[in-house]
Amino acid sequence: MSRRNVAILGSTGSIGCNAIEVIAQLGEPFHVVAISGNTRIDKLVEQTKVAKPQAVGIGGAQARDALGRALRDANLDAKVYCGPAGLAEMVRRDDVDIVVAAIVGFAGLEPVLAAVEAGKTVALANKESLVVAGSILIPLAKCSGAKIIPVDSEHSAIFQAMACGRASEVKRVILTASGGPFRDWPIERMRSATLSDALNHPTWRMGDKVTIDSATMFNKALEIVEACWLFDLPPEKVEVVVHPESVVHSMVEFIDGSTIAQLSPPDMRTPIQYALTYPDRRAGIGRTIDLTQAFSLNFSPPDPVKFGALRLAYDVATRKGTLGAVLNAANEIAVAAFVAGSIPFWMICDVVARTIHRHQSIATPTLRDLIDADDWARRTAEKLLAS
């Protein structure tokens, strides 16, 4: 296996930290050559000491100066990149082979587009890029020769299972969902859930935004849209089941009646490593299933009343256009308001639904159209929150 140089976008977050750990364990031929974070300069300096990247990216101009000083004070030599345009430049570097795209939200789109345009292998954890701009990213990847390997455990499972047949032989894909912290809560109690309640995920340890998205099932809503783009599937071929154990990460049913599933304990290091080593497999550090111990696997349909995000997702996946950008942006604004204590939990889905309802979608959007739709949705959601 030839040398593989890796850039990690969002290295200070949960996925990014796991990626650095996986690469350290894998050793040769993997090398971290670039990392980026938003505001956690201390963490970036710590990671630079350990991983020794040649490039470090940061969110804004003011943070850039502070990062540069911190690196110099620590006697660390790395080129500093700043903002979305700077991160886009960083991933285009000739010494970057693989880009782990782990920035959360719309902020990750520009560097992902740059990596795909440059023909890099993209280990994609930033599902929002496909939700917002799948109509641009997928054709661009075909043109540039870029490979998009999913890091989301569900889409990694589908990616692996689909290798067991041809795309034309797929009857449906089944995304599994843990059900989040409110899986067994009655809807009346769920409506008044606190931030602490929403962050108490039963099986996964993730960042706050993704954990709250799991509580509302907007995480699964985004994954429905992502799966349609990534695997070129109509929404009616993408189903969701609640699977509390989070051991079966997703399934693919083929036309002959066979269903192929990917199983592993809930540990993000496993799909991260798969995306990095693909198409090869290496001994890993992720946990494995002990089949000598008795355990059960449970599946049930999600409650469409409790989790209205799923209904919105199928609408967006069917109509496409600029609706993915609106879904994502409105959700980001609503989640931020909930975290700030400005709105109750139930209002997250309500704000997103009302924002989508007000949007006049553009069927075949340009990148400018998608950026404008994102901006419009944020302003509209904020107005709804203020009304």
The span from the CA of 339 to the CA of 335, in Å, is 6
Give the residue-averaged pLDDT of 182-201: 90
Which tens digits make up the pLDDT trace of 311-357?
999 999 999 999 999 999 999 999 999 999 999 999 999 999 999 99
Per-residue pLDDT band at 89 (split at 50, 70, 90): very high
Per-residue pLDDT band at 239 (split at 50, 70, 90): very high
Of the given ranges (1-5, 73-77, 205-209), which has the lowest mean pLDDT? 205-209
Using the predicted structure, report yes or no on whether residue 107 has a pLDDT greater than 90. Answer: no
The span from the CA of 269 to the CA of 283, in Å, is 12
pLDDT of residue 317: 98
Q: How far is CA 296 from CA 184, 239, 244, 299, in A?
A: 18, 22, 10, 10
The mean predicted confidence, pLDDT, of the chain is 95
Give the residue-averaged pLDDT of 198-226: 87
pLDDT of residue 287: 82
Where are the domain boundaries for CATH 1.10.1740.10 in the chain? Answer: 321-387
> Which DSSP string corresponds to 122-171?
EEE--HHHHHHHHHHHHHHHHHHT-EEEE-SHHHHHHHHHHTTS-GGGEE
Per-residue pLDDT band at 204 (split at 50, 70, 90): low
Which tens digits make up the pLDDT trace of 16-61?
999 999 999 999 999 999 999 998 999 999 999 999 999 999 987 7
- State the CATH architecture for 321-387: Orthogonal Bundle (1.10)
Q: How far is CA 338 from CA 103, 175, 186, 307, 381, in A?
A: 21, 27, 20, 17, 13
Using the predicted structure, report yes or no on whether residue 374 has a pLDDT greater than 90. Answer: yes
Which tens digits make up the pLDDT trace of 278-306?
999 999 887 889 889 889 999 999 999 99
Using the predicted structure, report yes or no on whether residue 138 has a pLDDT greater than 90. Answer: yes
8 A C-beta contact, residue 188 and residue 262: no
pLDDT of residue 65: 87
The span from the CA of 381 to the CA of 295, in Å, is 44
Smallest CA-to-CA distance from 246 within 289, 208, 182, 191 is with: 289
Question: Which residues, in sequence order, are CB contacts of 97 under 8 Å at separation 6+?
Answer: 3, 4, 5, 6, 120, 121
Using the predicted structure, report yes or no on whether residue 202 has a pLDDT greater than 80. Answer: no
Where are the domain boundaries for CATH 3.40.50.720 in the chain? Answer: 4-150
Report percent pLDDT > 90 for the chain: 87
Give the residue-averaged pLDDT of 229-243: 98
Per-residue pLDDT band at 205 (split at 50, 70, 90): low
pLDDT of residue 93: 98
**Sheet strands side by side (includes 170-177):** 238-242, 170-177, 248-254, 259-263
Using the predicted structure, report yes or no on whether residue 245 has a pLDDT greater than 70. Answer: yes
Task: Decide which of 3.30.1130.10, 3.90.1300.10, 3.40.50.970, 3.40.50.720 is the CATH code for 4-150.
Answer: 3.40.50.720
Say what the pTM is.
0.93
